[in-house]
With several copies, the nearest count.
Chain A
């Protein structure tokens, strides 16, 4: 995904497991002011869905890879908010 020169960034946000249950949804679309980061997507998510009980610094992924909260995001990116992992 190329970095957009537009004034907004539109991304898809995925929720899983306990976060999806709490929010009552597994995905939503967010439009954020540019430039945007994972952290600004999380702030917008909290504002939009008060039921999503996210921790202060949830584990996150961008486009299928783990990402930091300060990772920049662009229109078309897939952001995932990941509850504590329990595989293995």
Chain B
């Protein structure tokens, strides 16, 4: 099952894939391309991915959700060129109880944002474009210099010119 597609996303088949008479609640999420970012007018987006890892990571996220809750999850993320108002990601989570459906759906979108290697380039009204850099980007962990692996200490601030 491919999690990435260049085709427009449609929630209906995802819902159909997870829905069943034993699962009384289906929670869904759609992420929509917004027309603004940091106060600038966006005209379109280009999503690119590390395809093989993105597929593997989506599969792991879905498996984790299905292990944490009694739930079935479907997930698709679009890549390539997207226009304003188009859907970039769709999630459907079906569970016997709506609590689990909502929690799993929320878990999946948070994990997708945090872990799946996808990037987007925004094209602005003024003709420029830029890669989107989230303000709270996670950093790699390096525990090789730590005394206690379970109590990580922050590394000293960088003195090189490689900083972001």
Contact = CB atoms under 8 A, between A and B. Distances in A.
Interface of A: 14, 16-18, 21, 37-39, 46, 53-61, 64-70, 80, 82-88
A65 to B, nearest CB: 7
Interface string B113-146: 1111111110000000001111001111111100
Interface string B73-87: 000010000000000
Contacts of B117: 16, 61, 80, 82, 85, 87
B48 A17 contact: yes
Interface stretch (B9-17, B50-58, B63-71): B50-58
12 contacts: A16-B117, A17-B119, A37-B144, A54-B162, A55-B163, A55-B164, A83-B119, A83-B133, A85-B115, A86-B118, A86-B132, A88-B31
Contact of B162 (A53, A64, A68): A53
A61 B53 contact: yes
Closest 8 CB pairs of A and B: A87-B118, A84-B137, A70-B144, A69-B142, A17-B119, A88-B113, A56-B158, A55-B164
Contact of B140 (A16, A18, A57): A57
Contacts of B53: 61, 64-65, 80
Nearest to A80: B50
A64 B138 CA distance: 17
A16 B53 CA distance: 12
A61 B50 contact: yes
A88 B89 CA distance: 6
B38 interface: no
Contacts of A88: 31, 77, 88-89, 109, 112-113, 116, 118
Contact of A66 (B47, B115, B118, B143): B115
B162 A39 contact: no
Contact of B131 (A66, A69, A70, A86): A86
Given A87-B113, A87-B118, A70 B142 contact: yes
A65 B160 CA distance: 27
A80 to B, nearest CB: 6
A69 B119 contact: no
B140 A65 contact: no
